[in-house]
Amino acid sequence: MTGGSIVSAAPDLVSGCLAVIQRLLTAATRRKTWHNHKAALTAYLHTNIPHNLRQRLQERVLADWRVYDTVTLRLLELLFSSATSSLELIYVRTFYRDGFVNLLPRLTGLTHLRIQDPVWTLSRRQLGVTLVSISKMTYLRVLTLQYCGHDALLAAAGASCPHLQVVDMMGARGVTDEGVWSLVTVKPGGWGGSGLTALEEDIVRKKSIAVRLGKCWGAAVKSITSKLVFALMEPKDPKLLKHMRSDEEDSFCWSRCTSSLIRVDLRCTNVTPVGVAILKQALLTRARIEHDSIRE
């Protein structure tokens, strides 16, 4: 076999090996001894298979982007780790949603998270676990939570994901102007990690997401009015703008993700033109905002 033939055959060889491993793992998950051997099998996989191949194996397991049986969920339990770089789903069967959400805290190295399930509304518990999970995904660049997005998740992303480039919440009725504000602003001094602690305390100790969001929105009510005036004022009075900016800086700071966001999709959400106006001011001019009443 020539050198060129070896190179061309390499992808097929890797694919074939991954197919064999998938069959072996699938057989293991179906055995009655699964729970006894799960820890040892997980350790063996993470020690002997490079993370990039585990990512490819995960993509094979989720070839149709669905979690609809116990075997699939167990395979993900074996493969998910902090080295997992991307996850895309279009459907999670009702019986497996709690189990799937319980795996999300492992994915601290995720850069792309896409969930596009039109029939999934996160329960209170699922929302809490997802909130804490996103708060730890500090490398996240693409966050797509179509239909199941929520204001609390936008708040977590704005506080903890400084590299966000795309936020897609299309069809998520739990997303409002409050969530937009939480995405693009933080309290002064909130970049040092204290935001994450507050989020975790709300979920683990207070068991109430509404408490944090209520405080965040209540502190921002006065600023929203000035932001809307700031967005619509033409021509802009430099003295007035300087005064408004001074007042706003006392109550909030732009979150770091505002410098990297290039696309935000808010179609079919409960975001109003006020939220869109805030986004237009917070993001760079090249950013694309998609909303029912405006598309840029």
Phi, then psi, of 84 in degrees rounded to 5? -65, 130
Residue 148 lies in a domain: yes
Q: Over 30-84, what HEC string results?
A: CCCCHHHHHHHHHHHHHHHCCHHHHHHHHHHHCCCCEECCHHHHHHHHHHCCCCC
Of 61, 77, 93, the one marking the end of a domain is: 77
- 131 and 59, same domain (yes or no): no
- 126 and 18, same domain (yes or no): no
- 60 and 145, same domain (yes or no): no
The pLDDT tens digits along the chain (296 residues) read 444 444 445 677 888 999 999 999 999 999 999 999 999 999 999 999 999 999 999 999 999 999 999 999 999 999 999 999 999 999 999 999 999 999 999 999 999 999 999 999 999 999 999 999 999 999 999 999 999 999 999 999 999 999 999 999 999 999 999 999 999 998 765 444 434 444 444 443 333 333 344 444 444 444 554 444 444 444 444 544 444 444 444 467 899 999 999 999 999 999 999 999 999 999 978 899 999 975 44
- 31 and 123, same domain (yes or no): no
Residue 100 lies in a domain: no
Residue 291 lies in a domain: yes
Positive or negative torsion for Cα 237, 185, 122, 34:
positive
- 73 and 145, same domain (yes or no): no
Residue 83 lies in a domain: no
- Which tokens go with 34? 């699964």
- 279 and 214, same domain (yes or no): yes
- 126 and 187, same domain (yes or no): yes
Pick from 99, 51, 44, 93: nearest CA to 77 = 99
Domain count within the chain = 2
Residue 94 lies in a domain: no
- 155 and 285, same domain (yes or no): yes
Of 56, 77, 98, the one marking the end of a domain is: 77
The verdict on pTM exceeding 0.85 is no
Alpha helices in the chain (DSSP H): 3-29, 34-48, 51-61, 70-79, 97-101, 124-135, 151-160, 177-184, 194-201, 209-232, 238-249, 273-282
- 272 and 130, same domain (yes or no): yes
Residue 119 lies in a domain: yes
Of 77, 94, 129, the one marking the end of a domain is: 77
- 238 and 289, same domain (yes or no): yes
DSSP β-bridge partners for residue 176: 270
Residue 245 lies in a domain: yes
Q: Say how far apart CA 129 and CA 148 lie, in whole Å.
A: 14
Which residue range is the domain that position 65 belongs to?
Answer: 1-77
